[in-house]
Chain A
């Protein structure tokens, strides 16, 4: 009795992307994008409203000032199960997905390098608490090869690709060969949306208004005003030359919840009333996202994203590296900064070896990209081989999931049989084929100027 419905939960630290995928015989053709619900993964207490909102209820909040967040995730890993259960109860209830969990299958995402003791608790909740019929647990990057992120490069997804997943807690560089994550080459940069928002709160609190408690407002300010600059010192000079009026400075008008007006950037020549409070965002606009590329600006002893990508690819088999440089994909909310793609392209170009092409793919919606790829994964006929059913779990416990879900514990080292097979194939390929050249009409994004071989 296979369940008809699969619940898809892209369980992130900042938000859960939740939705339903009906079976292959269902009507999923008319939802190619997959309408996911974006649910804040937090229990939020609003002092102004004097209420507590669980997950999706946050949209009912009127007063967003001084919101107190309780997040189930700590440093990227699920530690607070009480809070997570509270949010999940709401997601499965009639208010959001309206699904009977005992009759459904589940696909849930976990962080990279998830700890084995935490993985066991995932199993316990899925089977003992929610009683799902079957489930599959994987990382967001593992679903990407089934989706459409690399669609512009060719009809079928590439065999070797790199996924850069920049989310709330951290950023990972994940190389994948033949749908298998190469764990020995996965690298983690401890800069994510949370660190950027906190750094912005600190800077603004020191220089202007005390915003240390205003996570929601500063997060919104970060998403509206910040961008990644391609010339850091040039922009710094521009700001310095004329602090009040230059092309970079923007004024962010703080929201006024008593009259229900959200925060926004001040338009040119807009009149402000005397009660409006304004944040001057000048070099904060680009020094904050700069931390993704230079974490040592605040003393974090890690190299920036471009150097991390280069270090990760350098760990991979020599002959395949060209394919990896040519297939880099971006997912995750923190890749949404304007200018992120251009900056990453220019930094990576100088690190790419001369004989290889560089090609970066991005999605129209980086936040839901993993979710949409997961829908495609669920509808793939091979999916049913990867799920663990409740019966199996009740018989053998968590060993069932340790066997079936390929994780870092069972990772293959370099020099594996699979990889050497591809190496031989690719050697024949590389000779003749121009591989993924940028000048294709189906290309969605503008690319960095192609390198000549």
Chain B
């Protein structure tokens, strides 16, 4: 029988292997989740191209992998307007129509990040961080998530939800 002192000094077996999931994994996971919530069209990663909107099934316009000719959707519309004048758009307008930039590029190009700090911009206007700690909700059923999964730190509320979580969504990182 181990002496009392040895028992006291030996670290508890349960705690020996317990480490919390590194917080940057949690942060990355949350960030990925939030970005997915911003998506408006679920585009499959495999064929991410400009969606070609055609009225019949054959593609008009040459496409060859990445070098596809960009099609201007708005010119293809058939508006039944007899008085419509066919005029050529100006250069700037055509450039804007052809080259679609995403918001991150536009923010960089606008150089608002380099404005002096007393000028309010899109970047400075975000709401302040929360004062209270987050309330954890069960990731399976939505009730109060009092316990956290040992493997992936997602909250759950009771044994049934723990079982469902382990079978379906657990990321199974063994720490």
Is the beta-carbon distance between A198 and B127 smaller than 8 angstroms?
no
- A301 CB to nearest chain B CB (Å): 5
**B-side interface mostly:** loop
- Which chain A residues lie closer than 8 Å to B169 at the CB level? 206
A187 to B127, CA, bound (A): 5
Interface residue? A68 (CB, 8 A): yes
Interface residues of A in 74-94 (CB under 8 A from B): 74-75, 77, 79-83, 85-86, 89-90, 93-94
Q: A198 touching B36 by the CB < 8 A rule?
A: yes
| A74-B103, A83-B74, A233-B144 known, 10 other contacts, Cβ within 8 Å | A79-B100, A83-B73, A85-B97, A89-B79, A94-B80, A112-B125, A115-B107, A124-B93, A294-B130, A297-B134
User: Which A residues touch B89, using CB under 8 A?
Assistant: 128-129
Q: How far is the CA of A132 from the CA of B34 in the complex (A)?
A: 40
Q: Is the CB of B135 within 8 A of A294?
A: yes
A80 with B93: CB separation less than 8 A: no
List residues of chain B with CB within 8 A of the CB of A95: 79
Q: Which residue of B lies closest to A83 (CB)?
A: B73
* Residue of A whose beta carbon sits closest to that of B118: A413
Given contacts A128-B90, A409-B119, contact A113 B125 (CB under 8 A): yes
Q: Given contacts A125-B96, A303-B127, are A43 and B53 in contact (CB under 8 A)? A: yes
Q: A308 interface residue, CB < 8 Å from B?
A: yes
Residue of B nearest to A186 (CB): B125
Bitwise, A301-331 to B at CB < 8 A (1) or not (0) is: 1111001100100000000000000000000
Contacts of A409 in B (CB 8 A): 119
The 3 closest A-B pairs by CB, nearest first: A299-B30, A86-B74, A296-B134
- Taken together as a complex, chains A and B put the C-alpha atoms of A213 and B77 apart, in Å, by 26
B contact residues, total (Cβ < 8 Å): 61
B89: nearest residue on chain A (CB-CB)?
Answer: A129
Of A79, A117, A287, A408, which one neighbours B137 at CB under 8 angstroms? A287
**Least distance between B123 CB and chain A CB atoms (Å):** 9
* Residues of the B chain whose Cβ atoms lie less than 8 Å from the Cβ of A115: 106-107, 110, 112, 122
How many residue pairs link A and B with beta carbons under 8 A? The number is 189
- With a CB–CB cut-off of 8 A, which chain A residues contact B90? 124, 128-129
B residues in contact with A299, CB < 8 Å: 30, 33-34, 134
17 A-B contacts, Cβ less than 8 Å apart? A75-B38, A77-B103, A79-B100, A79-B106, A85-B97, A93-B81, A94-B80, A115-B107, A124-B96, A128-B92, A129-B90, A206-B140, A213-B42, A233-B144, A236-B142, A296-B133, A409-B119
- The complex places the Cα of A45 from the Cα of B55 at a distance, in Å, of 10
Are B102 and A236 in contact, CB atoms less than 8 angstroms apart?
no
Chain A, Cβ-Cβ closest to B144: A236
B110: nearest chain-A partner, CB-CB: A115
Determine whether the beta carbon of A79 is less than 8 Å from that of B79: no
Q: Mark out the residues of chain A between 117 and 144 whose CB falls within 8 Å of any chain B CB in the assembled complex.
A: 117-118, 121, 124-125, 128-129
**Minimal Cβ-Cβ distance residue in B for A72:** B100
B-facing residues in A163-213 (Cβ within 8 Å): 172, 183-184, 186-190, 194-195, 198-199, 202-203, 206-207, 212-213
CB-defined contacts of A184 to chain B, threshold 8 Å: 118, 120
Q: Is the CB of A68 within 8 A of B41?
A: yes
A301 in contact with B129 (CB, 8 Å): yes
Q: Given A69, A283, A295, which contacts B41 in the complex, CB threshold below 8 Å?
A: A69
Q: For B74, list chain A residues within 8 Å (CB).
A: 82-83, 85-86, 89
Encode B54-72 as 1/0 by CB contact (under 8 A) with A: 0100000000000000001
Decide: A82 and B130 in contact? CB cutoff 8 A. Answer: no
Given A74-B103, A81-B97, A86-B77: A411 touches B41 (CB 8 Å cut-off):
no
By the criterion CB–CB under 8 Å, are A203 and B103 in contact?
Answer: no
